[in-house]
Chains A and B, each alone.
Chain A
Amino acid sequence: MNIFEALRVAFAGLLANRLRSSLTMLGILIGVAAVILLVAVGNGASVQINNQIQGLGANVIFVYPANAKGAGGVSQGFGTSQSLTMADVDAINNRQQDQDVVAAIPIANSGGQITYQNQNYFAPTTGTTVDFPQVRDYQIAEGSFFTQDDVTAQHRVVVLGQTVVQNLFGANDPIGQTIKINRQSFRVIGVFATKGGSGFGSQDNVLVAPITAVWAYLSGGRGKGISQIVASASSAGTVSQAETEITTILLQRHQISDPSLADFQLQSQQDILTQANSIATALTLVLGAIAGISLVVGGIGIMNIMLVTVTERTREIGIRKAIGARWRDVLMQFLIEAMFLSGLGGALGIALGAALAVEAPHIPAIASSTFPPPVVSIPSVLLAFGVSVGIGLFFGIYPANRAARLHPIEALRHE
């Protein structure tokens, strides 16, 4: 019996029980749609995280204080020591050789209440130096960034990200206006262009001021500490050399001979990307696995219905065997039927899952939230279709073999 004939027979068998076939197919359809949709959601989150991290700048290196070690070496947690100083930044910027580091800037963050007239907002204020736009890859859209004079003279000037502008000023021009950060007046001198990225940790939700002004007016007398140093390498390819240079300079300055005892640690954009990707992959796998369970349930549905079908059609199997159907012929007939059910269910499930994933960002409730738009991946589509056909094969083989092994005499006697 050829494949075409087997398909014809299988199709006729399915058409004979339309409702039952559709319901069985629905089980697989929902399973596959769930896999496609949830994996797309995971991928969407992954893409969004990647974009945000890439927004940090490709060549960026972050230097954090290492975990402070208490007596007996008990770690006190990330960033608990105040090991980095402005002198470290100057040392990196003023080094004589090794040109792989372009510039280094200090970062001193100060959280705070921002007010403008009757508008209220809450965002971190970053204190830094004039190289900030270059190192962090920010463009000025309006006005200008602060100058070395502003830093030296502790001028209370501030440059705003787009998110802050929208929340405080709406459509009004912020340049030249005075806002209050923790009740201290700062004059807005510039606005950054949109960097993209959304939701938590947006690159546009920033206020940047001279680090000296932040120390003087916002730190509450906590001195001239800096929470991190951000450096930029000359290109993506020189990031690791730049990291080595920074490490060497800082170890020397902090008089540490054993690198494993360093009181600071470095992280490049690539490191963050790798970590974030491994988390995103785990998230996608978990979502896919949850959806996979429904696929297995759908497969059991197919097996169940195939067993019923085989019992119902015992007599037909007997007739076919009497007129010459071999084990293989009967097996193929029922196997193709099961695979057709699961394959068609899978194809429809892919269509539904992909349609939901594509349409999801247009649903108002989702569009207005920070929920990442799902991204349907081609491998997940191929895998889901392959798995659904495979499920038909796996769950179909037992009922089909049961049919194929029926004894013709007993099958013919079956009422």
Chain B
Amino acid sequence: MIRLEAVTKTYRMGRVEVQALRGIDLHIESGDFVAIMGASGSGKSTLMNIVGCLDVPTSGGYFLDGTDVARLDDDQLAIIRNRKIGFVFQSFNLIPRTTALHNVEMPLIYAGAPNRRPRALEALDAVGLANRADHQPTELSGGQQQRAAIARALVTDPAILLADEPTGNLDSGSSVEIMKLLVELNEQHARTIVLITHERDIAAFAKRTVELRDGLIVRDERRAA
């Protein structure tokens, strides 16, 4: 499903070169639930950008669902993001002044897909937000906004769901709710989920934990079933 081979990423900050990733080999099977952990500066955000096809590696290979995405241009990356990746962000990132339904419809619009409205409603229903379809983000609670974001991530039926600190802006009650929703999506609908977090108790919901430090994988454990 996801295969990273010797992936490195080097940023140039003025005259200084920063090696964010120093050679990552990572293999994620379909249906897995992986938490990527690490302190700030460990390279986990860079890794998530590359896995999410928002950025390309400096060297190494990245195969997503059989496609080599390491050498694609911006528009091709946009198409891959649209079809194969569903993003869930820490700050929800719903488009303001736009209803939940329309937010969820958005990826389908860019895909030029048919039956957008029923599919968007179905995705909202799957996260238990069907009765809030006509509400704008400002009219929803944090937990509800994140559910809408998850519905938007799922609506295109992507290969992976990429959640970047999805509970970072939520209270503990809503956090548990959202994590339970992710677990349910993984277990009952066989969704592949990659979760980025720095909190151990959030990572504990995942089946597998990968820990990064200074641009290298230092730990890769599977939770005993």
Contact = CB atoms under 8 A, between A and B. Distances in A.
Interface in A323-339: 323-329
Interface string B85-126: 001010001111110000000110111100000000000000
A322 B81 contact: yes
B54 A323 contact: no
Contacts of B221: none
Given A323-B87, A323-B152, A326-B78, A409 B54 contact: yes
A16 interface: yes
A321 B111 CA distance: 12
Contact of A409 (B49, B82, B94): B49
Contact of B107 (A316, A318, A324, A409): A324
Interface in B127-170: 152, 156
A1 B112 contact: yes
A326 B75 contact: yes
A305 interface: no
A408 interface: yes
Binding site secondary structure of chain A: helix
Task: Determine which residue in A16, A318, A319, A329 has the highest number of CB atoms from chain B within 10 A of its CB, and name it.
Answer: A319
A323 B152 CA distance: 9
A1 B109 contact: yes
A320 interface: yes
Task: Determine which residue in A320, A328, A329, A408 has the highest number of CB atoms from chain B within 10 A of its CB, and name it.
Answer: A408
Contacts of A316: 95-96
A323 B107 contact: yes
Interface string A297-323: 000000000000000000110111111
A324 B81 contact: yes
A16 B106 contact: no
B39 interface: no
Contact of A319 (B78, B79, B95): B95
B32 interface: no
Contact of A326 (B87, B89, B110): B110
Nearest to B92: A319
B65 interface: no
A1 B110 contact: yes
A392 B79 CA distance: 29
Given A322-B87, A324-B110, A409 B78 contact: no
A323 B97 contact: no
Contacts, number: 60
A12 interface: yes
A315 B93 contact: yes
Contacts of A326: 74-75, 78-79, 110
Task: Determine which residue in B54, B89, B94 has the highest number of CB atoms from chain A within 10 A of its CB, and name it.
Answer: B54
A5 interface: yes
A16 B110 CA distance: 22
A408 B81 CA distance: 11
A175 interface: no
Nearest to A413: B45
Contacts of A315: 93
B30 to A, nearest CB: 21
B106 A327 contact: no
B93 A412 contact: yes
Nearest to A322: B87
B83 interface: yes
Nearest to A321: B78
Interface string B54-96: 1100000000000000000011001101110001010001111
A319 B153 CA distance: 12
Contact of B74 (A319, A327, A412): A327
Contacts of B75: 326-328
A377 to B, nearest CB: 42
B91 to A, nearest CB: 9
A64 B107 CA distance: 80
Contacts of A329: 110
A317 to B, nearest CB: 10
A346 B96 CA distance: 29
Interface string A357-385: 00000000000000000000000000000
B160 to A, nearest CB: 14
Task: Determine which residue in A16, A322, A409 has the highest number of CB atoms from chain B within 10 A of its CB, and name it.
Answer: A322
Contacts of B110: 1, 320, 323-326, 329
Contact of B89 (A1, A5, A321, A412): A412
Contacts of A327: 74-75, 78
Given A5-B109, A323-B87, A409 B55 contact: yes
A324 B105 CA distance: 12
Interface in A172-215: none
B96 A323 contact: no
Contact of B79 (A1, A318, A324, A412): A324
B139 to A, nearest CB: 16
Contacts of A16: 97
Nearest to B80: A324
A323 B74 contact: no
Contacts of B79: 324, 326
Given A12-B97, A408-B54, A323 B106 contact: yes
6 contacts: A316-B96, A324-B107, A324-B110, A324-B111, A325-B78, A329-B110
Given A321-B81, A324-B107, A325-B110, 10 more contacts: A1-B112, A5-B109, A319-B95, A320-B110, A322-B52, A323-B152, A324-B78, A324-B79, A327-B78, A409-B54
Q: Which 5 pairs between the two chains have the least Cβ-Cβ distance? A: A324-B82, A324-B110, A326-B78, A323-B107, A326-B75
